[in-house]
Amino acid sequence: MFGMFARHRTTIPAPGEALPGRSERMPVPEAHFVSGRELTPPFPEWSESALVGMGCFWGAERLFWQAPGVHTTAVGYAGGFTPNPSYEEVCSGLTGHTEAVLVVFDPRLTSYEEMLRIFWEGHDPTQGMRQGNDVGTQYRSALYYYSEEQRHAAEATTGAYQERLRQAGYGAITTEIAPAGEFYYAEDYHQQYLAKVPDGYCGIGGTGVACPTGLAGVAEGAGRPAEPAGG
């Protein structure tokens, strides 16, 4: 995506080095371009959320909005320091953020474990600060959890998938696993980009290695956040 033309920074800045950002939130559409559902909170009381980073967020978001049981999706920035960053600022590598997808799903129809399966199988989590030809801290793999149940599920699937990857000849998983902080919405043209531009760039690609499911301790509906923070 456009970030491939930006400076390829591969080290996350210290908080004092990050760009200052702004207090104004990014304006985004009221409705999801594909489903017509809400893009920002409040979400339905029964809903649960997942927050992931897996490279270019255009293709990653499409994987999730196509999945059964997903209520809505949005793209944005997470895991860094700069409040309400622009896309260009994130691509500079000076915000600390990675491109992220917020997934709001119906636990009556699907599960957090299924969101993790889509995450693991949808990209190569062993590439560090890149994903394919997209290089930079904004393309790093990340799982941001909203609860201890989600943390446990993320760590359990990491261990299980690492063994499958090792058997297939891949190296160590580099996925960042951390508490979900602020999710800052990306600009409106990024939201559901590949539905608006069907032939647009998509750098997403998995390893072809299946993620084991039904792991002990990975409970359906792991971790309901009170509300993901809107950006």
Q: Read off the pLDDT of residues 23-37 as tens digits, 9 standing for 90 and up.
A: 999 999 999 999 999
What is the structure's pLDDT at 7?
56
Cross-strand partners of 105? 48, 70
Residue 17: what residue type?
Answer: E
Q: Read off the pLDDT of residues 44-82 as tens digits, 9 standing for 90 and up.
A: 999 999 999 999 999 999 999 999 999 999 999 999 999
Angle, helix 57-65 to helix 112-121, in steps of 10 degrees? 140
Q: pTM of the prediction?
A: 0.91
Two structure tokens written together for 30? 């009221």
Name which of 94, 101, 217, 203 is nearest 157 in CA terms. 217
Two structure tokens written together for 191? 């939201």
Helix (H, G, I), strand (E, B), or coil: what is residue 102?
Answer: strand
Mean pLDDT along residues 111-129: 98
Query: Annotated active-site positions, please?
Result: 56
